[in-house]
Amino acid sequence: MLSKLRPNLFLDSVQAIDLRLLRRRGIRGVVLDLDNTLAGWRALQPSHEVATWLKGLRSHNIGAVILSNNSKGRVGDFARSIGVPCIPNARKPRVRGFLQAMQMLGTTPKTTAVIGDQMFTDILGGNRAGFFTILVSPLTREEFIGTKAVRRVEGMVLRHFERQGLQLPTHAG
């Protein structure tokens, strides 16, 4: 079970993801989490830095789909603001939404990456679907109360992976 929680890569933020590296790995599409990955929990738009990174996806011919457990209104409004298709109420880590996103991207498991801030939803679901998985640090500490509880368990799992050699990101500041 723990192996399904282990990300292929762990970085500080989406902006730290080298798009040339993704292309060299054969990645043609990314499945993106929304809350605390692309924007703060209730933010209506991404930061300038994240918006610039999203434009970089397009210039590297990497497609994107937002896959979120959040509501249709929240996810749809955000997705429209950045011009990316979305799948709300995804019920991650269930694989169905990941496979639907892959179909929307026209990719295969080997050419798809998932990027998210939670091991028990984004990484577990992405690994179960056979995707390249990238865990990013949450953008803020503000989040759903249930997520806050899961973060404690996540911390224990991350420390276990660190002892096994997983490189944890260095946080600025």
Asked whether residue 168 is domain-assigned, the answer is no
CATH number at residue 143: 3.40.50.1000
Instruction: Determine if the pTM surpasses 0.95.
Output: no
Q: At 136, is the pLDDT very low, low, confident or very high (cuts 50, 70, 90)?
A: very high
31 is a domain residue: yes
> What pLDDT sits at residue 156?
84
The tally of domains found in the chain comes to: 1
- HSE at residue 141, side-chain half, CA atoms within 13 A, is 1
Q: What is the pLDDT of residue 145?
A: 67
CA count, 13 A, side-chain hemisphere, 136:
23
pLDDT grade, residue 172 (50/70/90)? very low
- Residue 72, domain member (yes or no): yes
Average pLDDT over residues 7-18: 94
* Measured torsion, CA atoms of residues 41, 45, 46, 52, in degrees rounded to the nearest 10: 170
pLDDT bucket at 160, cuts 50 / 70 / 90: confident
- Give mean pLDDT, residues 75-83: 94
Is 170 within the bounds of a domain? no
Is 116 inside any structural domain? yes
Confidence (pLDDT) at 170: 52
Residue 95 forms part of a structural domain: yes
Residue 58 within a domain: yes
Q: By residue range, what is the domain housing residue 57? A: 2-163
3-state secondary structure of 173: coil
Q: What angle do CA 50, 37, 158 make, to 5 degrees?
A: 130
Confidence at 15, pLDDT banded by 50, 70, 90 = very high
Domain presence at residue 98: yes
